[in-house]
Amino acid sequence: MTLRGILLGTAVAMLLPTAAMAASEGFYVGAGAGVNWTEDSKFRFEGTNTNAKSDYKIGGIGDISAGYATSYGLRPELEFAWRWRNSVDSTSSNSAAFNGAGGKASSIAFMGNLLYDINTGTAFTPYIGAGAGIAQVRQEVGPLSDRDWVFAYQGIAGVSYGLTNNLALTLDYRYFATLDPKYDFGPVTVKGEYTNHTILAGLRYTFGGPAATPAAAPVAPAAPVQAQPQTEYLVFFDWDKANITPVSDKIISDAAAAAGKVRAVSIHVIGHTDTSGSPAYNQKLSLRRADAVKSALVAKGVSANQITVEGKGETQLLVQTGANVREPSNRRAQILIRVQ
């Protein structure tokens, strides 16, 4: 089976209706630009013995997309792409009228894509996908020019890097091809080819992502079932981070001051994560967050011997979610102060 046949079958299969997903990450928009390489095209002048073959120079591409990212990693999207300025490098033909002729090729495409994000537990997210749609291919050979709307399909492989909770930088490769377009070159119908390789860099913005969680005020436990009272402070973290933010530093300062005023017996710091990432990775990340809070407390005058740390990973969620969900309320560390 040819590469074209494999990609065509995959594109159609992936775009068939699927079962509804349970949870989602939200709607997104994206835009990108890059370069494209159009493969050599053969032209068959129907009803004659004339044929030709053109090879092309590198051209450009512009792309916009909109879709919906789910918590299971699937991203159905709609895409518009414009590939342009693939000038003819040379043309060979058995007809003197076309041998050595110049020209150029370009296309616009409206595609429906289905992509799958591979969660690595880091800011880097590889993805693969396929798409199908319709494209208008324009071809110029010598003085002749025409365009044709044809079925198009593509395969996609790339990686994104999360700059923030909402914004990601993307880089991918796309194999793009169409069914053979037909051109009316004067009185003759010419059947051609259009196959393209694309490198595309862009940005993707997801709407409705979690906003920064406001700093929590100290709260007392609802039911004082323990022998001695306990004071709790909550410190929140950015996604996949264990560094102390300015807001969190102020809360830690309050906790350190409170521990001195009430003659704290001990301070226990418990780190937590959300469910984005593997459980093993999240366990280590939660402990890093607890250690970061301990270091900040020590820097503010609290004795290190008073502080114990523990990492709970994603096992004690403040807000219940499904797997692989970025929830800022779950990215936290608890400071528990036992007092006399």
CA distances 275 to 126, 257, 286, 334, Å, are: 18, 33, 11, 18
d(CA 109, CA 5) in angstroms, rounded, equals 19
User: How many CB atoms are closer than 10 A to CB 1?
Assistant: 7
pLDDT at 20 over 60: no
d(CA 324, CA 239) in angstroms, rounded, equals 12
The torsion defined by the Cα of 31, 37, 42 and 46, in degrees rounded to 10, comes to: 20
Q: What is the mean pLDDT of residues 5-31?
A: 54
Average pLDDT value for the chain:
86
For the ranges 228-242, 245-259, 324-338, which has the lowest average pLDDT? Answer: 228-242
Q: Cite the beta strand spans of 142-253 per DSSP E.
A: 144-162, 167-178, 182-185, 188-191, 195-206, 230-236
Bridge partners (DSSP) of residue 339 are 264
The number of residues in the chain equals 340
Domains, the chain, ordered by start: 3-206 (2.40.160.20), 230-339 (3.30.1330.60)
Residue pLDDT, tens place only, 26-66:
899 999 999 999 999 999 999 899 999 999 999 999 999 99
Residue pLDDT, tens place only, 148-158:
999 999 999 99
Contact 61, 81 (CB under 8 A): yes
